[in-house]
Structure 1
Amino acid sequence: MAQIRARPFQIKIREMRLSDLEQVICIEHEIFLFPWSIGNFSDSIKAGHHCQVMVQQQGAEPDTDLVMGYSILMIGPGEAHVLTLGVGYAWQNQGLGGAMLRYLIELSRKHRAEFILLDVRESNTGAANLYRRLGFQQIAVHKDYYPAMCGREDALIMRREL
């Protein structure tokens, strides 16, 4: 569990629990036009992927935590892949996405990954710029990867050496 100081509140990153999924899905639907399903998230937990939530504690009981963001990282031999990362709209542009990504980079290093991969919608310039600031470089384009309102959208495939 990582403690992160992000003004004006303090958050922590911890393992995602099935009891977090209702809040995770609310964020997912809030920030993505084509969201993952609750089944996608529960399957990721059951598969043993590194599923994390960023929470602000609201009380002594863990079930009272306010989920502000989440991520899922898949680690394989020598590599890691960020499957998803999201921050609730109310908490965007406050450094939380960067904090979560730095956490995933360190987690990947701990598991001896040599590099970390992610993909991002070509239109998501804010996220792509964040990834570049944290050392990711575009290595390819996956044509028509994402569903879009009028057809399909390309994904930028990005990589960071560890």
Structure 2
Amino acid sequence: MSIQRFVIFSASIVTLLSAAQLRAADSEVSGVFKGNGQPAKLMFVSAHKGAPVAGKETIKLVFTEKDHSRDAQPDLKALFGDYGSALVIGIQPDGKVVTCDVAHEAHKQKPISSPASVKMSEFKNEGGQISGKIATDGKEEAFGQTWEVNLTFKTKAP
């Protein structure tokens, strides 16, 4: 390989890695996500325009273990395990939770839909950013499966 090709190849790799880091810097997620007592490390969050619910606009928040930033509609793949454990939350523009789908690797049945199980607090939608805290009131149960959520997040608004 010539030196010129090597330099071009190296510059391309650095550019791609820098772009991935910039995307990741736009979003942050931390906290607890457990399924059947087993923790999952949700490291990625994104916000997308959701389908209207009861005639009101929604925003879909997608939390995953693996990077889903290149997928224009990651929610479906997330719910079927393509990005590891996942949580897909539908909210109204004021932060009210209207849908919640839980897909944890430790669950035998997934996804589990449980919109009443999580609540949003500390919600902000300003300056092109959405942030807040999503939590259950301790451990939740459905279909013999348990889960617990206590996440703080920030991501670019759709």
Structures share fold, TM-score greater than 0.5: no
Structure with larger RCO (C-alpha < 8 A, sep 6+)? 2
Larger CA Rg, structure 1 vs 2: 2
Give the TM-score range, shorter chain.
Answer: 0.3 to 0.5
Going by fraction, where is helix more abundant, 1 or 2?
Answer: 1
The TM-score, its normalising length taken from structure 2, stands at 0.34
Going by fraction, where is strand more abundant, 1 or 2?
Answer: 2
